[in-house]
């Protein structure tokens, strides 16, 4: 269906009309970067940036982030009223490093970080220490694995790339440290960090918008719930198979504690006296013949199938995903309530929150609402959700069904997915977006689902699907715009309150 809407310049098209919010989703390749534009009571715009990053394996990702940062600076006239960072994964924060010189010149009034980033919070410190330990173990494992199995090492490194630290990147300050310096409001007290159930937040000068913090949860158990609810984190004293694998790969390194070494030994399937090293199997006459004949060391014997040398790679992948999912579950989750609508519309930004984070929301409550004493729950906000920023690039365990998507507005839901499916499938061999979830999302939104890898070029339009009437589709098209240049830099959606 042809569009009649004229192309607008980025700065003008990003400005939301009165009583509206414009959500601009940038296209870094495989990453999250959202610029929200609100209209203040005096008619001036207010800008909020939620995340800004790209996965480190994306070719030209750093250059793309600099183009995006320049566009943000231009649109906002070098003034961001709020920057919100959902969690410390490279595909959400790398832009603040890759375009450091651009962001350092942008005035930032306030910085929203989850309580998990509070350096003085005891539980936050415990969580960070556990994740750091896992990352260090896997980093060592990848280094030892690369010379003998480059493909497996690359697969593990692809997951570790999300967790890269400032030291590993060879820079003096992390992205969050830079943002702390740039923000006019300093995060000095526990109440400066965002936590579920705190009083609804506001956008300075903007009427009719309240922001509810749904996550991350305040109990440690929730962070380990990704697919199996019996995974409890952080309990590193009892080493499971995946943790034992990573620590064992560190061999005789001196930084393994006696307690850890003891736990590792208890994790071995056989007693230590039955150990035979690889060198013994290959060179010792007492073992050499047996292993050549029966274990496949002699390739001509046709016994390669007997070897189990690489079986531990399954545990390696499990540990890498476990650590990755832990960080995802620390995501700051924000629900924007538009109080000028009836019923109040809700815009949901979940970062990469996974199962444990989602399951905590129904228990979060507030007292307020129109009557002043109305009880509001996380489930209430989900029921009124008309816009959903799809979690974790559409992965299968970052959008719940019965306690998530099924609760959202069945008539008015619009979604955005920051995903590059071809890159995820072909380069990293990840199922992003998950096929089954994508089908449900398309049905639930009546295919009003915007993706950064499906931005039309200047001569294209968004085609009307069969499951929506022409009037609904036309109203949707009026609210959508995108970058018509060769860069396909962004696509955006405006919601009236």
Give the phi and the psi of residue 376 in degrees, each rounded to 5: -115, 135
Selected residue with higher pLDDT from 96 and 298 = 96
**Long-range CB contacts (within 8 A, 24+) of 262-266:** 263/237, 263/238, 263/239, 264/239, 266/239
Closest CA to 346 of 302, 383, 305: 383
Check: CB of residue 50 under 8 Å from CB of residue 42. no
Digit-coded pLDDT (tens) for 460-479: 888 898 888 999 999 999 99
Cis peptide preceding 343, ω within 30 of 0? yes
Which of these ranges, 53-57, 286-290, 348-352, 359-363, has the smallest mean pLDDT?
A: 286-290
pLDDT surpasses 50 at 255? no
Digit-coded pLDDT (tens) for 72-111: 999 999 999 999 999 999 999 999 999 999 999 999 999 9
pLDDT surpasses 80 at 439? yes
The CA angle 359-347-51, to the nearest 5 degrees, is 85
Task: State the average pLDDT over residues 445-469.
Answer: 90
In angstroms, how far is the first alpha carbon of the chain from the final one?
Answer: 27
Closest CA to 160 of 177, 178, 143: 143
Mean pLDDT of the chain: 81
Cite the DSSP H helix spans in 295-410.
313-328, 355-360, 378-383
Check: CB of residue 467 under 8 Å from CB of residue 480. no
Which of these ranges, 138-142, 241-245, 447-451, has the smallest mean pLDDT?
A: 241-245
Give the phi and the psi of residue 273 in degrees, each rounded to 5: -70, -15
User: Could you give the dihedral angle defined by the CA atoms of residues 169, 172, 178 and 184, in that order, rounded to the nearest 10 degrees?
Assistant: 180
d(CA 136, CA 131): 9
Return the pLDDT at 308: 53
Return the pLDDT at 231: 27
pLDDT band for position 419 (50/70/90)?
A: very high
Which of these ranges, 2-6, 219-223, 401-405, has the smallest mean pLDDT?
A: 2-6
Check: CB of residue 183 under 8 Å from CB of residue 110. yes
Return the pLDDT at 422: 95
Closest CA to 238 of 258, 271, 260, 256: 260
Return the pLDDT at 202: 95
Residue 391 in tokens: 């979690």
d(CA 65, CA 58): 11
Which of these ranges, 83-92, 161-170, 256-265, 487-496, has the smallest mean pLDDT?
A: 256-265
Return the pLDDT at 321: 67
Check: CB of residue 200 under 8 Å from CB of residue 337. yes
Return the pLDDT at 239: 40
- Cα–chain-centroid distance for residue 24? 17
Task: State the average pLDDT over residues 270-299.
Answer: 67
pLDDT band for position 313 (50/70/90)?
A: low
pLDDT surpasses 60 at 314? no
Q: pLDDT exceeding 70 applies to what percent of the chain?
A: 73
Where do we find the tokens 């039955």?
274
Digit-coded pLDDT (tens) for 141-188: 777 667 666 666 777 776 677 775 444 444 557 899 999 999 999 999
d(CA 471, CA 154): 49
The CA angle 234-236-239, to the nearest 5 degrees, is 135
Give the phi and the psi of residue 82 in degrees, each rounded to 5: -145, 135
Return the pLDDT at 17: 47
Count of CB atoms within 10 A of residue 138's CB? 25
pLDDT surpasses 50 at 236? no
Could you give all domains of the chain from N- to C-terminal order, each with its CATH number?
10-126+163-230+325-496 (3.60.15.10)
The pTM (predicted TM-score) of the whole model is 0.80
pLDDT band for position 223 (50/70/90)?
A: confident
d(CA 44, CA 249): 58
Return the pLDDT at 372: 56
Selected residue with higher pLDDT from 202 and 430 = 202
Return the pLDDT at 284: 72
Return the pLDDT at 238: 36
pLDDT surpasses 50 at 251? no
Digit-coded pLDDT (tens) for 2-51: 333 333 444 434 444 457 899 999 999 999 999 999 999 999 999 999 99
Beta partners for residue 110, in sequence order:
82
Check: CB of residue 23 under 8 Å from CB of residue 416. yes
pLDDT band for position 497 (50/70/90)?
A: confident
Going by their DSSP bridges, the two strands 365-368 and 209-215 should be labelled as unpaired
Return the pLDDT at 278: 66
Residue 12 in tokens: 């003008």
Which of these ranges, 289-298, 310-319, 361-370, 432-441, has the smallest mean pLDDT?
A: 310-319
Q: Is 464 left (phi over 0), alpha (psi -120 to 50) or beta?
A: beta
């Amino acid at each position: 269906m042809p569009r009649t809407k004229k192309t607008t310049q980025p700065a003008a098209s990003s400005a939301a009309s009165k009583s509206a919010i414009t959500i601009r989703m940038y296209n870094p390749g495989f990453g999250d970067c959202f610029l929200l534009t609100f209209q203040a009571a005096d008619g001036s715009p207010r800008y909020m940036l939620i995340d800004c990053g790209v996965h480190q394996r994306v070719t030209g990702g750093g250059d793309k982030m600099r183009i995006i940062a320049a566009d943000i600076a231009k649109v906002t006239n070098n003034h961001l009223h709020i920057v919100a960072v959902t969690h410390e994964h490279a595909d959400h924060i790398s832009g603040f490093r890759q375009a450091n010189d651009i962001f350092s010149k942008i005035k930032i009034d306030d910085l929203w970080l989850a309580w998990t980033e509070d350096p003085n919070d005891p539980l936050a410190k415990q969580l960070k220490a556990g994740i750091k330990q896992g990352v260090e173990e896997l980093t060592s494992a990848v280094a030892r694995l690369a010379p003998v199995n480059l493909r497996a090492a690359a697969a593990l490194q692809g997951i570790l790339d999300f967790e890269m630290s400032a030291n590993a990147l060879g820079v003096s300050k992390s992205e969050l440290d830079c943002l702390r310096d740039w923000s006019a409001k300093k995060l000095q007290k526990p109440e400066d960090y965002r936590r579920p159930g705190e009083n609804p937040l506001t956008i300075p000068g903007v009427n009719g918008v309240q922001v509810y913090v749904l996550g991350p949860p305040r109990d440690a158990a929730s962070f380990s719930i990704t697919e199996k609810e019996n995974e409890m984190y952080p309990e590193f004293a009892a080493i499971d198979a995946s943790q034992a694998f990573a620590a064992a790969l560190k061999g005789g390194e001196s930084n393994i504690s006696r307690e850890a070494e003891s736990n590792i030994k208890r994790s071995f399937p056989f007693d230590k006296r039955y150990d035979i090293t690889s060198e013994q199997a290959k060179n010792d006459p007492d073992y050499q013949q047996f292993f050549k004949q029966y274990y496949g060391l002699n390739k001509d014997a046709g016994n390669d199938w007997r070897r189990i040398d690489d079986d531990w790679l399954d545990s390696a992948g499990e540990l890498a995903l476990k650590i990755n999912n832990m960080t995802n579950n620390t995501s700051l989750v924000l629900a924007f309530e538009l109080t000028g609508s009836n019923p109040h519309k809700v815009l949901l930004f979940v970062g990469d929150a996974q199962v444990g984070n989602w399951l905590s929301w129904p228990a979060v409550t507030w007292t307020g609402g129109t009557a002043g004493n109305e009880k509001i729950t996380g489930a209430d906000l989900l029921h009124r959700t008309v816009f959903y920023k799809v979690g974790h690039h559409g992965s299968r365990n970052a959008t719940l069904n019965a306690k998530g998507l099924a609760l959202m507005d069945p008539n008015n839901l619009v979604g955005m997915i920051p995903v590059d499916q071809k890159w995820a499938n072909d380069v990293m061999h990840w199922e992003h977006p998950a096929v089954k979830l994508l089908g449900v999302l398309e049905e639930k939104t009546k295919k009003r689902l915007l993706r950064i890898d499906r931005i039309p070029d200047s001569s294209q339009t968004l085609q009307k699907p069969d499951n929506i009437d022409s009037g609904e589709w036309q109203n949707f098209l009026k609210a959508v715009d995108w970058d018509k240049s060769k860069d396909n830099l962004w696509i955006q959606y405006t919601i009236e309150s």
